[in-house]
Amino acid sequence: MANSHILMPHFVLKKFVDHKNTLYYIDCKTDEVRKGRAKTFFTQEGYYSDQMEAWLNKNIESKVATLISFLERTKFADKEEISFDYVDFAYRHLYALLARAPYLIEVINNNSVFFQFSPAEDQHQMAVQDIFRRLWNDRYYQDGYTVGFVNNISEESFVLATSGVCVTDYGIVCPLTPNKSILFWKTGAECDHKTPLFEISNGVEIFEINKLQLIQEKRFNNTFVVANSEDCLKRLLCD
């Protein structure tokens, strides 16, 4: 039986560890900064079945890992276009994060007579797969947003809310590493960054995204915000 990561995949969390393989996180219920390990962070044994873990790996996680590898080896200043495959992988990541939100289990339970009587493991699998497919077929995000990728070259690292999604005035930011992120910008929104690959050198801009992640995580999920540095999280709490 798998020890499943409930929200954020292990391979993404591993990008937010320090040289000792330690990650740091804010407990949004207490504002305490704690230490953890990517392998065991926010996990539950049997939350997903082995079959579901295989489905997630095949359809989403292996593809997002390929996207991260591409972003880490790409010289952003030299590249103006990106393969559609990477755009596809970005949407898969977004939809999987939205579909894995635990509160959706309760929503489905309230609207289904039979769902609530299924074993918890089956509920988690059915919810994620069903919501992922609904989002994919609906095309709201594909039609309403354009995908870009961020190279953060500032002195401020991205943090990572366990929801993985940060909603801004101009779109949705999904950090993948401390210096790489997906940006889904809304059609018609004012945004300084409207090329497929761009760099941000202003640490204040990154800090504002980080602060917004913390605010939204407290408001909507009340779980955790992760970073590869304790100081990075303490700055957020002191601001």
- 48 neighbors 5 (Cβ within 8 angstroms): no
Per-residue model confidence (pLDDT) at position 40? 94
How many CA atoms are closer than 13 Å to the CA of 49, on its beta-carbon side?
Answer: 13
Per-residue model confidence (pLDDT) at position 79? 63
CA–CA gap between residue 107 and residue 95 (Å, rounded):
17
Enumerate residues 6+ apart whose C-beta is below 8 A from 231. none
Q: Flag whether pLDDT at 117 surpasses 70.
A: no
Residue, of 119 and 96, whose pLDDT is higher: 96
Confidence of residue 144 (pLDDT cuts 50, 70, 90): very high
81: helix, strand or coil? coil
Lowest average pLDDT, out of 48-52, 121-125, 149-153, 185-189, goes to 121-125
Per-residue model confidence (pLDDT) at position 120? 75
Tens of pLDDT, residues 164-174? 999 999 999 99
Which of 212, 232, 217 is CA-nearest to residue 154?
232
Confidence of residue 239 (pLDDT cuts 50, 70, 90): confident
Enumerate residues 6+ apart whose C-beta is below 8 A from 104. 127, 131
Per-residue model confidence (pLDDT) at position 36? 96
pTM of this prediction? 0.92
Per-residue model confidence (pLDDT) at position 104? 73
Confidence of residue 217 (pLDDT cuts 50, 70, 90): very high
CA–CA gap between residue 214 and residue 115 (Å, rounded):
32
* Average pLDDT over all residues of the chain: 90
Ranges of each domain in the chain: 3-238
Task: Give me the numbers of helices (H) and strands (E) for the chain, helices first please.
Answer: 9, 11
CA–CA gap between residue 129 and residue 105 (Å, rounded):
12
Per-residue model confidence (pLDDT) at position 126? 84
- 57 neighbors 8 (Cβ within 8 angstroms): no
The single residue listed with the structure tokens 């870009």 is 148
Strand 145-152 and strand 180-186: the pairing is antiparallel
Average pLDDT over residues 94-122: 76
Residue 83 tokens read as 């393969």
Q: Flag whether pLDDT at 2 surpasses 80.
A: no
Enumerate residues 6+ apart whose C-beta is below 8 A from 161. 213, 214, 216, 217, 221, 223, 224, 225, 226
% of residues, the chain, pLDDT over 70: 91
